[in-house]
Amino acid sequence: MVKIGIIGATGNAGSAIYKEATERGHEVTAIVRDADKAKEKLGENVSTIISDAFELTKDDLSGFDVIVNAFATSPNQAYLHVDLTARLVSFFRETESPRLFFILGAGSLRTEAGHLFIEEIKKAPNSEQWIAIPDNQRKQLEFLKEVNNVNWVGISPGATFQEGEKQEFIMGEDHILFNVKDESVTNAGTLAVAIVDEIESNNYKRQRFTVINK
């Protein structure tokens, strides 16, 4: 059994991870701002820490084996992805526990041509309204790559991340993946399975990997 804290546990990704980890018998705590919402989405018996992510202290988090950062924000505050990552890293310099698990975007993955997928994302209609989110998730990974004294791991979904049940999946590391239907889609349930699998197997250290629906 692993003690897991999930920051943003009532969100799309966070709630799927909470469900998957709980079903596998792990001790899971939802780190959220709204206790009522947590009970509504995760069940009356949910264990919680009620706090804004930026008000969490090192003592709040030190008792966990793994902290999953499923934090989400609006495009106009997308820089908070980087800020929260830096804050969590600062708490646990020169330690191996807790392990920090970051959910990153697809923008930092590379295409077959070798350029960052963020360049393809920018071509989407009206991307200027939301591009700050994948761009700052790209900056998250850039920051993490320079961190060599914290036990961290990252995961990127495919080009489309959506609600949905877990599916069989394809895994990779630094390149955007496509299935036989030429789709690059990751369901929240699929992402959750890949994350909990990695929590249990501990295959990646200070590295990012990626997963899509098969």
User: In this predicted structure, what is the pLDDT of residue 10?
Assistant: 96
For 131-159, the pLDDT digits (tens) are 999 999 999 999 999 999 999 999 999 99
Share of residues in the chain with pLDDT > 90 (%):
98
Angstrom distance (rounded) from CA 127 to CA 134: 10
User: In this predicted structure, what is the pLDDT of residue 45?
Assistant: 93
User: In this predicted structure, what is the pLDDT of residue 47?
Assistant: 96
Confidence of residue 160 (pLDDT cuts 50, 70, 90): very high
The one-letter amino acid code at 81 reads H
User: In this predicted structure, what is the pLDDT of residue 158?
Assistant: 97
Q: Which string of b and e fits 144-181 if b means at least 16 CB within 10 Å? A: beebeebbbbbbbbbbebeebebbebbeeeeebbebee
Angstrom distance (rounded) from CA 76 to CA 138: 16
Q: Do strands 160-162 and 66-69 pair parallel, antiparallel, or not at all (unpaired)?
A: unpaired
User: In this predicted structure, what is the pLDDT of residue 145?
Assistant: 97
Q: Where are the alpha helices (DSSP H) in 32-187?
A: 35-42, 58-61, 80-91, 118-121, 132-144
User: In this predicted structure, what is the pLDDT of residue 54?
Assistant: 97
User: In this predicted structure, what is the pLDDT of residue 156?
Assistant: 98
**Three-class DSSP category at 36:** helix
Share of residues in the chain with pLDDT > 70 (%):
100
Angstrom distance (rounded) from CA 193 to CA 177: 17
For 48-103, the pLDDT digits (tens) are 999 999 999 999 999 999 999 999 999 999 999 999 999 999 999 999 999 999 99
Confidence of residue 107 (pLDDT cuts 50, 70, 90): very high
Cβ proximity of 17 and 41 under 8 Å: no
Cβ proximity of 121 and 179 under 8 Å: no
Q: Is 197 exposed, middle or buried (0-12, 13-18, 19+ CB in 10 A)?
A: middle
Cβ proximity of 6 and 30 under 8 Å: yes
User: In this predicted structure, what is the pLDDT of residue 110?
Assistant: 96
Token reading at 172: 């990779």
* Order of strands, sheet of 47-50, starting from the edge strand that comes earlier in the sequence: 47-50, 27-32, 3-7, 66-69, 95-103, 150-156, 208-213, 169-172
For 5-26, the pLDDT digits (tens) are 999 999 999 999 999 999 999 9
Sign (positive/negative) of CA torsion 39, 40, 45, 46?
A: negative
